[in-house]
Amino acid sequence: MSIVAFKVPLLKMELEQRDGQWSVKAHYYESWAREQGIEIGDIVLAIGKKPIASMPLVPYDETIRGANELTIKKHDGTIIKIAVLHVDLPAQFYLHVLFPIIYFVLSLVAALYLYKKQQDIESVKWLSGFILTVALTYLSSVASSKGDFIGTIINSGGIFLVPLILLQFLKGYYNYLHIKWPFIQHIERFYVLPIMGAVLGGVEILYPYTKSVIVIILLATSFLLFSFPLSILLYSYYKERTVQLRLLILSVILPFSPFLLLFVLPEVLWQRPILQAEYSILFVLLIPFCFMFLRVTERLFDIHYYITRTNYYLMATAILTVWLYIGLYFLLEKESGWEIVFFLFISILLFFYIKEKADVKYRNILFTPKGNTIRQLSRAINQMSEAYKVEELLAILKQEAIKHLEIENIEIVAFDEKERKMPVCYTIESEQIHQLQVGEVIKLSNEYVALIHQEPHIKRLLLIEHRNVIRLKDEELLWLKLLLKYTESTIESLKKIEELLQELRNVQQTAEQEPVWLKKLVWLKVEQEKYYVAQELHDTVLQNLTHLTREMSLLLENDAAISVQGLYQQMQNNVQDLRSYCETLKPPVLDKLGLTVALSQLAQQVSNKANFKLSTTFERVYLQNEQLPLVIYRIVQELLNNALKHSEAEKVTLSLQEVDEGFELIYEDDGIGCTLEQMLQTDSLGIRGIRERVEAFNGKCRIVTNINEGVFIHIIIEGHEEDD
């Protein structure tokens, strides 16, 4: 495509037929035509070595597209030959040869970069294809405009393929942004259109008389295809209102508008574009790189910032423009030029000072002779982040203030609101201190005063002595206010950290094991999770099995269903087991009928399965802590499970009695027993869990056991609640 563009310069010279001859009607490059002596009405005899009468496309196009040489017959009968060289058409050489090659190379590099860096992301693959397709279509457009067969086929198919790949990229990008893709789920079905476009391009070259119709079809179809992505973006933005979609819309509307409205639409409606294709297409070439920037960098917030601050700069520019227009309107009547120069110089200088004040007041952004204020603030914050105590933090604050403000007399003092006294060297009154807000800086006769941090009766103040010989600049006050805000929040965090560390030290000094509140918290969390699991099993699996069991019972009423009797019995057993698991995790009878009835039912269930004789005594107990009934139930449940699985006892006794503001639980069996060390080390016995439950409520658990001597466990928990 580049070779074709270079070998044959583009002329686009319009012709008209007169008396069987083709004469010049209009020039595209008028200055070149004047230099070559070509005038309107001159007769064109040959294009290159071919007579114009043998050119099949001329009668239908009436335009000389490309030529290396022209044979012209002047009005006086003189015949001249004119060589068409790129050196005589520099603008065309840049637009049609050099720039398309550079753009294609850049596009190829960008596509390879995207593929190498993010080849596993779907939208990036489509973006790479979109960039290359736009570049190739643009490169072939020059060859197509000169009637090249291959260039026309590629260009005709490309103008259909570009919007389809754009749709594929947008679909992948929507998925990346987690935005619902609204239309056209199967875009690949439309890939027949580029093939049809390429075929129409070939037909246009082979059968020149179809050119006018085919051009309209190609442009109208491409206009509709390019409208799809824009419509989808507008619809999505109407629904979502996200910054990313707004930026995508701007990236499509701004470049596409000149191409569609100034070239495609006028060409379709009136066959006369307002702006020629080689100029309007330049805007479209920005789209791939706009998308690449959005997709690769993802610095959407920064882009949003640049867009939103446009209003601010438009207002400032408008004010300056009006001022300069009024001033120059009166000054231009005078002959002296130095007055205009002086007026412009002073106006621009004043504008910068006014803008600086506006930035300080409304935007909190300022550049100073010492460098960027934010950079200085960042350095100070980095220093302060290394402090682990409030005293260290305040010392760093003082040093940074002395260094940045270049003032030696800076102090940090604590003001006691009860005593309401300040050192005599300072002029601030207690009432002024009381009205101060954190981060606020006020100027008094001898010092600046700022509130750093406030506690119930103590206020920490930053005092900067000036004695009417030092004035803090706007940028210095801004720096100080921001640093004080950061210091105040950091002090609050450090105090909380110090309190937690002190609490942990106290725990470490007073308890060798885990604190009671931690055991209680863990146990309550475990019980809560058990409740959730039981509720989930009951509401899902158990309900489904119950329904299936009912269905099976209906089948059993039919004689032909006798064969499913075993299956039905198995399902009933599963339902019963699952219900038992749920009741174990979340005993419903405990909430409905109370602790005594729940324990009695639990004991009855164990007796039905046990090989030992179970004797129980459950007195009614009155407990202030609403969590204790569940604690008792879990302990009894664990003790009876151990008796079933491990004790090999013949007799087990269990009693629950009320004591002063609490309860006493006694378990005893005559089983095989074991040593206390073995019992505590064996997780399967659950003794460790029992002891942790008891200790979580400040209770006592005494265990007596030995080999072949059974087990005796005595548990007592007081009913009063601890303030933990």
* pLDDT-based confidence at residue 559 (cuts at 50, 70, 90): low
> What pLDDT, on the 0 to 100 scale, is given for residue 304?
46
Tell me 365's DSSP state.
Answer: -
Structure tokens at 657: 């009695």
> What pLDDT, on the 0 to 100 scale, is given for residue 400?
82
* CA quadruple 298, 299, 303, 309: dihedral, nearest 10: 150
Q: In this structure, what are the phi and psi dihedrals at residue 199, rounded to the nearest 5 degrees? A: -65, -45
Percent of the chain exceeding pLDDT 70 equals 77
Exposure on the CB side of residue 489, measured as CA atoms within 13 A: 7
CA 613 to chain centre: 67
Whether the pLDDT of residue 367 is over 50: the answer is no
Q: Which residues are bridge partners to 21 per DSSP?
A: 18
The answer to whether the beta carbons of residues 632 and 686 sit under 8 Å apart is no
Question: What's the CATH code, domain 2-88?
Answer: 2.30.42
Distance CA 608, CA 105 (A): 87
* CA quadruple 495, 498, 502, 507: dihedral, nearest 10: 100
The answer to whether the beta carbons of residues 14 and 25 sit under 8 Å apart is yes
> What pLDDT, on the 0 to 100 scale, is given for residue 302?
44
Q: In this structure, what are the phi and psi dihedrals at residue 131, rounded to the nearest 5 degrees? A: -60, -45
Q: CB neighbours (10 Å) of residue 46? A: 19
The answer to whether the beta carbons of residues 470 and 407 sit under 8 Å apart is yes
- Do 371-506 and 2-88 have the same topology in CATH? no
Whether the pLDDT of residue 523 is over 70: the answer is no
Whether the pLDDT of residue 301 is over 50: the answer is no
Radius of gyration of the chain (CA): 45
Tell me 42's DSSP state.
Answer: P
Distances (CA, A) of 666 to 220, 279, 624, 654: 93, 97, 21, 6
Of the candidate ranges 3-17, 47-61, 145-159, 262-276, the one whose mean pLDDT is the lowest: 262-276
Structure tokens at 218: 């190609």
Whether the pLDDT of residue 493 is over 80: the answer is yes
Q: What is the pLDDT of residues 379-407, one digit of tens each?
A: 777 777 777 778 888 888 888 888 777 78
**What's the count of helices (H) and strands (E) in the chain, helices before strands?**
28, 18
Strands (E), 567-661: 613-618, 651-659
Q: Which residues of 181-207 are buried (b: 16+ CB within 10 A; e: fewer)?
A: beebeebeebeebbeebbebbbbbbee
Of the candidate ranges 142-151, 356-365, 596-605, 618-627, the one whose mean pLDDT is the lowest: 356-365
- Reduce the DSSP state of residue 715 to 3 states and report it: strand
Mean pLDDT of 409-413: 85
Mean pLDDT of 178-193: 82
Q: Which residue has the higher pLDDT, 284 or 722?
A: 284
Q: What is the pLDDT of residues 21-48, one digit of tens each?
A: 889 888 888 888 888 888 898 898 888 8
Structure tokens at 496: 């909380």
Q: Which residue has the higher pLDDT, 371 or 474?
A: 474
Distance CA 433, CA 428 (A): 7
Contacts of 112 by beta carbon, 8 Å cutoff, 6+ apart: none
* pLDDT-based confidence at residue 667 (cuts at 50, 70, 90): very high
Beta strands 367-368; 662-669: pairing state:
unpaired
Q: CB neighbours (10 Å) of residue 334? A: 9
The answer to whether the beta carbons of residues 134 and 287 sit under 8 Å apart is yes
Whether the pLDDT of residue 497 is over 90: the answer is no
Smallest CA-to-CA distance from 70 within 82, 62, 78 is with 82
If you average pLDDT over every residue of the chain, what do you get? 77
The structure tokens 């085919």 sit at 214
Q: Structure pTM?
A: 0.43
Whether the pLDDT of residue 196 is over 90: the answer is yes
Query: What count of residues does the chain have?
Result: 724
- Reduce the DSSP state of residue 663 to 3 states and report it: strand
Q: Which residue has the higher pLDDT, 298 or 240?
A: 240
Distance CA 378, CA 479 (A): 10
Find the angle CA(180)-CA(186)-CA(191) to the nearest 5 degrees: 135
The answer to whether the beta carbons of residues 394 and 412 sit under 8 Å apart is yes
The answer to whether the beta carbons of residues 412 and 452 sit under 8 Å apart is yes
* CA quadruple 317, 323, 329, 334: dihedral, nearest 10: -120
Q: Which residue has the higher pLDDT, 621 or 43?
A: 43
Exposure on the CB side of residue 112, measured as CA atoms within 13 A: 6
Strands across the sheet containing 441-443: 410-416, 458-465, 447-454, 441-443
Q: Which CATH class is domain 371-506?
A: alpha beta
Please report the DSSP string for 276-341 in residue order.
-HHHHHHHHTHHHHHHHHHHHH--HHHHHHHHHTHHHHHHHHHHHHHHHHHHHHHHTTSS-SHHHH
> What pLDDT, on the 0 to 100 scale, is given for residue 484?
85
Smallest CA-to-CA distance from 687 within 620, 628, 639 is with 639
The answer to whether the beta carbons of residues 607 and 644 sit under 8 Å apart is no
Distances (CA, A) of 309 to 240, 275, 305, 313, 367: 23, 32, 6, 7, 17
Question: In the CATH hierarchy, which fold is given to the domain comprising 594-724?
Answer: Heat Shock Protein 90 (3.30.565)
Mean pLDDT of 675-691: 69
Whether the pLDDT of residue 226 is over 90: the answer is no
The answer to whether the beta carbons of residues 226 and 260 sit under 8 Å apart is yes
Q: What is the pLDDT of residues 92-118, one digit of tens each?
A: 788 888 888 888 888 888 888 777 766
Distances (CA, A) of 543 to 272, 539, 596, 691: 75, 6, 29, 36
Whether the pLDDT of residue 724 is over 50: the answer is no
Q: Which residue has the higher pLDDT, 215 or 532?
A: 215
Q: Where are the domains of the chain?
A: 2-88, 90-299, 309-363, 371-506, 513-586, 594-724
Which amino acid is located at 278 in the chain? E
Smallest CA-to-CA distance from 460 within 422, 399, 413 is with 413
Whether the pLDDT of residue 583 is over 70: the answer is no
* pLDDT-based confidence at residue 320 (cuts at 50, 70, 90): confident
Q: In this structure, what are the phi and psi dihedrals at residue 644, rounded to the nearest 5 degrees? A: -65, -45
Distance CA 218, CA 188 (A): 20
Smallest CA-to-CA distance from 179 within 248, 240, 243, 230 is with 240
> What pLDDT, on the 0 to 100 scale, is given for residue 409?
83
Of the candidate ranges 179-188, 241-250, 357-366, 621-630, the one whose mean pLDDT is the lowest: 357-366
Q: Which residues are bridge partners to 613 per DSSP?
A: 651
Strands (E), 327-400: 367-368, 371-372
- Reduce the DSSP state of residue 273 to 3 states and report it: coil
